[in-house]
Structure 1
Amino acid sequence: MAATSFLETQEGRRLAYHRTEGRGPCVVFLGGLKSDMEGTKAIFLEDWARKEGRAFLRFDYSGHGESSGSFTQGCIGDWAQDTRSVVEALTDGPIVPVGSSMGGWQALLLASSLPGRIAGLVTIAAAPDFTEDGYWATFTDTQKQQLADIGQVELPSDYMEPYVVTTRMIEDGRQQLVLRAPLDLPFPVRFLQGTADTAVSVATAVRLLEHATGPDMQLKLVKDADHRFSDGPCLDLILQAIGDVMGATE
């Protein structure tokens, strides 16, 4: 395995990444909340890219994995800055973002900020606006008061230690919402969603499909697939989705 490289951003963050050289468009994997670039999907796609001679980039947001910073100090806007920084510094020409969970939200934010760079887009259990619709909307009065009093609240996770949700994450998230304003995706888009996902609902996937506009947009529901979406058949579906959006531009 190649050594990890690092990018120093204008914001003073040190972002860890692995880049695979090859022909474009470059596939950029955007991981989920508190996940890192060593996850099953990221490594699987890197292996595929090497075998196919494709350009590929995986990285850790600040406060994640090998990158600098603390998770509890971060927010959606910081990670959007990180995403744009690595894309602008480490890729040239068209890209295909592949965003998983929170990374799906990041992919949509990237598409809004750099529309001319996007050749196609794939999301896996995309979680747009989850700080507002998944966190704030379900907080009890006690949790909301805790946020006001101490600036954070802990939420249980099915996959790891509890999530720490901060006041900054909630307030910044409101500045990054993508389902409250027009969301034009003028390139091939494939949304993937498991029906057994307990973190992101099918209703969220349908809402995203219905809200966004674009000429070539599909949602694929996979019966009994969970939020990880990382068994063999699901990984094959991710490759199929990437092939679909690339095929429309090549």
Structure 2
Amino acid sequence: MHGYDRLDGPNGRIAFVRHAGDGPVVVFLGGLRSDMTGTKATFLDGWCRARGRAFLRFDYTGHGASAGRFEDGTIGAWSADALAVLDRLTEGKVVLVGSSMGGWVMLNAALARPDRVAALVGIAAAPDFTEDLLWERWDEETRAALLADGVVTEPNPYDPAGYRYTRTLIEDGRRHLRLRGPIPLACPARLLHGGRDDAVPWQTSLRLADCLAAADVQVTLVKDGDHRLSRAADLSLLARTLAALLGEDGG
């Protein structure tokens, strides 16, 4: 993997790409098992470069070009990766763009550094997914297997080998649940979600909007959109959303 810089993070070396420009810095936070070479990450990189805007994308440990094993990761560990990146690779205000699980990491990072965050953009944001979309869906046999063996493997359309979920991931997730009460963040938030999302129900974004303390929160439902929201029209919506937050035209 060439072309990446690396940072010694709290859980191992973190690979990242950044470029300087006008602030606030746009920081992309990817989803579970995705990496910074994905469609949305690279689109935002190019979009920010074309406008002379500062941008940063990175891989959590156990993902992409970063060190570590995916099975060793947790919401807390990946949030710590994000904080290390924010603290050591950015200055001034940031706009956090969180995709799927990255929407949960985005909230954790913003709550830890509220004075740094100018705005939030969630793309199919998935806070609390370990509890609401995994544990609550599993039957007693699956739960018992997880507790006994420490891991379960589930089929997943994004990986023929399936996803391996660890007991540690589920138990750590319970320490970071965000949709159980008010989320004391005052910055503007924009939440984009596909009506045909088969991984994270679009109602999750409505729940998140309700929990956020900020008054300036908007939810955009893309009726025919899927979980990735990576089609040309979806990326255009993302660009217009970000541009409005940054005081630009959508270009």
How far off its partner does 1:184 sit? 2.3
Q: Who is 2:113 aligned against?
A: 114
1:71 partnered with 2:70:
yes
Q: Superposition pairs for residues 95-114 of structure 1, below 5 Å?
A: 95-114=94-113
Q: Who is 1:182 aligned against?
A: 182
Q: Superposition pairs for residues 17-96 of structure 1, below 5 Å?
A: 17-96=16-95
CA distance, structure 2, for counterparts of residue 198 and residue 12 of structure 1: 31
How far off its partner does 1:62 sit? 0.3
Q: Who is 2:231 aligned against?
A: 231
Q: Is the 8 A contact 2:200 2:227 kept in 1?
A: yes
Give the 3-state SS of the residue equivalent to 2:136 in structure 1: helix
Higher strand share: 2
Q: Is the 8 A contact 2:27 2:57 kept in 1?
A: yes
Cα distance change on mapping 1:150 and 1:121 into 2, 3 Å = same
How far off its partner does 1:206 sit? 1.3
Deviations 1:205-225 (A, max 9, x none): 111112222121000001110
How far off its partner does 1:2 sit? 7.5
Q: Is the 8 A contact 1:95 1:120 kept in 2?
A: yes
Q: Superposition pairs for residues 121-132 of structure 1, below 5 Å?
A: 121-132=120-131
Q: Is the 8 A contact 1:63 1:70 kept in 2?
A: yes
What amino acid is aligned across from residue 188 of structure 2 in structure 1? P
Q: Who is 2:165 aligned against?
A: 165
Give the 4+ runs in structure 1 shifted more than 6 A: none
Give the 3-state SS of the residue equivalent to 2:234 in structure 1: helix
Q: What are structure 1's unaligned runs of at least 5 residues?
A: none
CA distance, structure 1, for counterparts of residue 208 and residue 120 of structure 2: 13
Q: Is the 8 A contact 2:122 2:190 kept in 1?
A: yes
State the TM-score, normalized to the length of structure 1.
0.96
Q: Is the 8 A contact 1:195 1:224 kept in 2?
A: yes
Q: What are structure 2's unaligned runs of at least 5 residues?
A: none
Q: Percent identity?
A: 47
Q: Is the 8 A contact 1:192 1:222 kept in 2?
A: yes
Q: Is the 8 A contact 2:26 2:94 kept in 1?
A: yes
Q: Who is 2:135 aligned against?
A: 136
Give the 3-state SS of the residue equivalent to 1:138 in structure 2: coil
CA distance, structure 2, for counterparts of residue 244 and residue 215 of structure 1: 17
CA distance, structure 2, for counterparts of residue 181 and residue 69 of structure 1: 33
Deviations 1:2-56 (A, max 9, x none): 71000002x2510000001111000000000000000000000101111100000
CA distance, structure 2, for counterparts of residue 186 and residue 241 of structure 1: 18
CA distance, structure 2, for counterparts of residue 28 and residue 227 of structure 1: 20
Q: Is the 8 A contact 2:11 2:81 kept in 1?
A: no
Q: Is the 8 A contact 2:11 2:77 kept in 1?
A: no
Cα distance change on mapping 1:247 and 1:215 into 2, 3 Å = farther
Judge which range, 238-247 or 112-121, deviates more.
238-247
State the TM-score, normalized to the length of structure 2.
0.96
Aligned CA-pair RMSD:
1.4
Deviations 1:102-142 (A, max 9, x none): 00111111111100000111000000000000111011111
What amino acid is aligned across from residue 174 of structure 1 in structure 2? R
Give the 3-state SS of the residue equivalent to 2:142 in structure 1: helix
- Equivalenced residues, count: 247
How far off its partner does 1:204 sit? 1.2
